[in-house]
Chains A and B, each alone.
Chain A
C-alpha cells in the first residue's frame, strides 16, 4: 500500500470514528492509569454497556499526564464534544453510563474539561491551569490516541517526516536541520543532537547503529516510559530518520525490563511499522533499509551511561569503559560508530523535519531550544507528566502547573536530575529551567525527574536516600566512586542518627569534590550532587542534626520523639495493642504513655490513632524532663 493511501485511509477511519453514531469511550490504561484502577474501570464500561445493549466504541489510550486524576476517561456522545473525566473508579464509570450516556446529564462535577467543542459548565481541557502553560510536542498524541494502532499515529501526521526525509532530503540536509533546530539531548547531559548525528555520520565505516536510551534509571521518574506507552511510533520514527541521517541499518531500543507495558507496546509498534514498510528492507520503496530490535535492560542504573549501555547489549557487565575512551559515535556498539539518544530526543525529530528548524527553535531560550518533559511528583497538588517550554521558571512549574503544595504545607525544595541532580531552595524558584541555569544553580536538567518537597521532608535524609541508591549502583571500577560513596553514606547515616560532628560537613564536601574528580563516568562525577547542594542550601538542617540532635522535619528516627497528649487520649487501647515493641503503657480509662526508652519511633501509634482523637504527637529532638512529667 502506498503511503498516500495509508494516510488517506487512516484519516478516513478517524473521521468515521468522529462521525460515528456510537458513543466513544477513551480509557487511559498506561501504567499510571492501571495503578489507579483503570483496568477495572475499563471492564465496567465493557460489561455494563454490553448488558445495557449500548453499542459503543471503547479505546485504550496512553497517559494524558494528569496522573493525580487517574483513571482518566474521555466520553464522546455522537455529535458532542469529548468530555474528560477524572478519578473514574468502577463506581463512577457506572454513574457516567447511567447519568451521561443514558440520561444525558454531562455530570460536570466529575469533568476535567472538554476537547473538540464546549459544554456548558465544563472548561476546555487545555485551559486547565495544569495544561494551559504547557507546550505539547512530544506529548502531542499522548493520552489522545490508541498507542497500539498505527493508523491513529498516521492520522495525526505520523511517518510524514520519515517520508519527507527519505525522499526529499539528503542525509546531510536532515542533519543540518537538526543542528539548526538547536535540539539538545534530553537524556541528561544536553549535548547538541545535531553535532552528535554529524559526528556519527562522519565516522568511517559502513556498519553503524542507532540506539534509543530508554533505561530511565532515575528512581522517581517515568517520562520516557509514558512517551513509549502513549505514542511509541513517534520514537520509532525519530530513530528511523536518525538511521537514514547517520547511515545506520540497525537500531536498538534499550528499555528497562521493569517496564513490561512499554516493552509490549514497542513490540506491537515495531511489528506494525514493519508491516507497513516503515521498518525493514527498502523503506517506503526507497533504497534505505533499517531494522529495529528491543533490548531489555536488566536493572543497573549505570547502564544508562553510553559505554556501559553498549557493553550491556554485547552481553557484558555494564561497566563504563576506562579513560581515555573512544567516543561512542566513533566506536560504540560492537566497536562500530553508534548514535545514542534519549527517547524524548528522538520523539522531537518528526517536528523538526515536518515544521522546520526555525519553527522548532521558536520555543525555548538562547541556548536551550524547544521543550522539556518532567515527571512532577512529591509534595505537589497536581502530580503528573508535563511538557514545558525551556526557560519557564521553577516557580511557574510548581505553583501554576503543579498547583502548589497540598495540605497547607510550605514548599521547601525541588529536586531535579534524580540521583545526579540537586535540591534547589525557595530563593532559587525564579531560576529558568534550562540546561545551563540549572547547572549553575548546582543541579542538572537530568532526564526529567522533578520531585517537590515540603517542610516535612528532611534534606539530610533525602541526601542520604540518593547516596544509598548510587552507592549500591556504583559499578565499583573507580575506588573513589566505590569507597568514597560508602564513606559519604556512612557519615550521612551517622548524622541522621545523631552521631555526627561539625567536621563531618567539611569532610563531606571534601570527599564529594574528590569523588567528582576521581571517577571516570557520569555516575561517580555526579554522586555527590545531592549532598553538596543540600549542604549549600540547607546547612542549618545538617547543623540541627549535629548540634541540637534534632531532625527539624521529624523524619530521622533517632532524632525525634513521640508522645501521647494526655488531654486528647481517650484511652481506647488501639495504639497500645498495636505497638510492635510494647512501649505503650496504660489501660482502659487510663491515659496511655509511651516509654521513651523502649520506643523504636516507628510511628505506628501516630498512624493508627483514630483521626478524631489525633492524640499522638511527633516532635523534633528528645522530650525534655518537663514533657515527660
Chain B
C-alpha cells in the first residue's frame, strides 16, 4: 500500500483543494479508504486527520470498508421507485443477508444503492459488477443470485 499511495500523492502538491481528488484516487486504487491512507493524506495536505475523515464521511462516494468481489448496486431513483425498486432492494437484502452499504463476511458480495443510473426507461434496474440488469422483478433477482452462485 505504501508504494501505491506514494505514487498517488506524487502527482499532487499537497494543497487543501486537492483533498477530494486525492481521496477519490485512493479509493479507486484500494476500493475503499483505509485508515492509514487517510492519515497519510492528512499529513500530506497538512490538515488534521479529523478534517480528512470529516470530508470522507460527508460525501456518499467514500466508503471505509472494502467491497465484495461481486458488487451489487440497486437503483433507488424515482423512476425505479415508482416501478417497484423497494421490492427489489428487499429481495436483494433477503438473498444476500446484508443491509445496504454492507459486505458479506466472506467478502463475496456488497450491496449499495444509488440514485438513478440513467436507464429509467428500463426501470427498475440494478448493476452487478458494472453490468446493468433491467426490468427487474424479485423473481429475477433470485434467479440472478442463485445461478450457481455466480452472476
**A67 at interface (Cβ–Cβ under 8 A)?**
yes
State the CA gap A296–B20 with chains docked (Å).
8
Interface size class of A (residues with CB under 8 A): 35 or more
CB-CB under 8 A for A315 and B58, given A31-B118, A35-B117, A378-B83: no
**B121 at interface (Cβ–Cβ under 8 A)?**
yes
Name the A residues within 8 Å of B79 (CB-CB).
220, 377-378, 383, 451
- Which A-chain residue is minimally distant from B85 (CB atoms)? A465
> In the complex, are the beta carbons of A378 and B137 less than 8 A apart?
no
> In the complex, are the beta carbons of A315 and B139 less than 8 A apart?
no
**B78 at interface (Cβ–Cβ under 8 A)?**
yes
**B87 at interface (Cβ–Cβ under 8 A)?**
yes
> In the complex, are the beta carbons of B21 and A67 less than 8 A apart?
no
**A623 at interface (Cβ–Cβ under 8 A)?**
no
> In the complex, are the beta carbons of B78 and A377 less than 8 A apart?
yes
Name the A residues within 8 Å of B23 (CB-CB).
298
- Pick from B20, B58, B78, B122: contact of A418, CB below 8 A: B78
**B94 at interface (Cβ–Cβ under 8 A)?**
yes
Contact bitstring A460-471, B, C-beta under 8 A = 1, else 0:
001001100100
Name the B residues within 8 Å of A35 (CB-CB).
117-119, 122, 125, 132, 134
**B17 at interface (Cβ–Cβ under 8 A)?**
yes
Name the B residues within 8 Å of A299 (CB-CB).
59-61
CB-CB under 8 A for A220 and B78, given A257-B61, A383-B120, A607-B137: yes
> In the complex, are the beta carbons of A219 and B60 less than 8 A apart?
no
CB-CB under 8 A for A378 and B55, given A222-B116, A298-B20, A580-B94: no
Interface size class of B (residues with CB under 8 A): 35 or more
**A314 at interface (Cβ–Cβ under 8 A)?**
yes
**A12 at interface (Cβ–Cβ under 8 A)?**
no
**B107 at interface (Cβ–Cβ under 8 A)?**
no
Name the B residues within 8 Å of A483 (CB-CB).
none
- Which A-chain residue is minimally distant from B45 (CB atoms)? A315
State the CA gap A312–B20 with chains docked (Å).
8
* Closest beta carbon of chain B to A327's beta carbon, Å: 22
> In the complex, are the beta carbons of B121 and A70 less than 8 A apart?
yes
**A68 at interface (Cβ–Cβ under 8 A)?**
yes
- Pick from A225, A465, A603: contact of B78, CB below 8 A: A465
Name the A residues within 8 Å of B122 (CB-CB).
35-36, 67, 70
**A280 at interface (Cβ–Cβ under 8 A)?**
no
> In the complex, are the beta carbons of B55 and A602 less than 8 A apart?
no
- Which B-chain residue is minimally distant from A580 (CB atoms)? B94
> In the complex, are the beta carbons of A219 and B119 less than 8 A apart?
no
**A234 at interface (Cβ–Cβ under 8 A)?**
no
Which among A315, A415, A449, A465 has the greatest number of chain B C-beta atoms within 10 A? A315
State the CA gap A221–B119 with chains docked (Å).
10
State the CA gap A603–B88 with chains docked (Å).
11
CB-CB under 8 A for A315 and B17, given A222-B118, A604-B91: yes
Name the A residues within 8 Å of B76 (CB-CB).
219
- Which B-chain residue is minimally distant from A216 (CB atoms)? B116
- Which A-chain residue is minimally distant from B94 (CB atoms)? A580
* Closest beta carbon of chain A to B70's beta carbon, Å: 18
Name the B residues within 8 Å of A58 (CB-CB).
none
> In the complex, are the beta carbons of B82 and A457 less than 8 A apart?
yes
State the CA gap A469–B58 with chains docked (Å).
15
**B81 at interface (Cβ–Cβ under 8 A)?**
yes
> In the complex, are the beta carbons of A220 and B117 less than 8 A apart?
no
* Closest beta carbon of chain B to A497's beta carbon, Å: 14
CB-CB under 8 A for A313 and B17, given A35-B134, A418-B78, A607-B138: yes
* Closest beta carbon of chain A to B15's beta carbon, Å: 8
- Which B-chain residue is minimally distant from A457 (CB atoms)? B82
State the CA gap A451–B58 with chains docked (Å).
28
State the CA gap A221–B121 with chains docked (Å).
11
- Pick from A68, A219, A258: contact of B121, CB below 8 A: A68
> In the complex, are the beta carbons of B120 and A67 less than 8 A apart?
yes
> In the complex, are the beta carbons of A219 and B77 less than 8 A apart?
yes
Name the B residues within 8 Å of A300 (CB-CB).
58-60
- Which B-chain residue is minimally distant from A39 (CB atoms)? B131
CB-CB under 8 A for A36 and B134, given A317-B58, A377-B121, A465-B78: yes
**B16 at interface (Cβ–Cβ under 8 A)?**
yes
Name the B residues within 8 Å of A317 (CB-CB).
54-55, 58
CB-CB under 8 A for A220 and B115, given A418-B78, A465-B81, A602-B138: yes
- Which B-chain residue is minimally distant from A581 (CB atoms)? B94
**B71 at interface (Cβ–Cβ under 8 A)?**
no
* Closest beta carbon of chain A to B89's beta carbon, Å: 11
Which among B24, B61, B125 has the greatest number of chain A C-beta atoms within 10 A? B61
**B62 at interface (Cβ–Cβ under 8 A)?**
yes
* Closest beta carbon of chain A to B145's beta carbon, Å: 13
**B19 at interface (Cβ–Cβ under 8 A)?**
yes
Q: Which of B75-134 contact A (CB under 8 A)?
A: 76-83, 87, 90-91, 94, 114-123, 125, 132, 134
State the CA gap A607–B139 with chains docked (Å).
7
Q: Which of B33-73 contact A (CB under 8 A)?
A: 45, 54-55, 58-62
> In the complex, are the beta carbons of A384 and B121 less than 8 A apart?
yes
CB-CB under 8 A for A383 and B121, given A451-B79, A602-B138: yes
Name the B residues within 8 Å of A298 (CB-CB).
20, 23-24, 59-62
Name the B residues within 8 Å of A448 (CB-CB).
none
**B29 at interface (Cβ–Cβ under 8 A)?**
no
> In the complex, are the beta carbons of A32 and B54 less than 8 A apart?
no
> In the complex, are the beta carbons of A318 and B118 less than 8 A apart?
no
Contact bitstring A601-617, B, C-beta under 8 A = 1, else 0:
01110011000000000
> In the complex, are the beta carbons of B17 and A36 less than 8 A apart?
no
> In the complex, are the beta carbons of A377 and B120 less than 8 A apart?
yes
A-B complex: 6 closest residue pairs judged by Cβ atoms: A220-B78, A219-B115, A383-B121, A35-B119, A298-B59, A299-B60
Which residues does A use to contact B, with CB under 8 Å?
31-32, 34-36, 67-68, 70, 217-222, 225-226, 257-258, 295-296, 298-300, 312-318, 375, 377-379, 383-384, 415, 418, 449, 451, 453, 457, 462, 465-466, 469, 475, 578, 580, 602-604, 607-608
- Chosen A-B contacts, 6 in total, with CB atoms closer than 8 Å, are A220-B78, A257-B24, A258-B117, A315-B20, A317-B55, A449-B78
Which residues does B use to contact A, with CB under 8 Å?
15-21, 23-24, 45, 54-55, 58-62, 76-83, 87, 90-91, 94, 114-123, 125, 132, 134, 137-139, 142
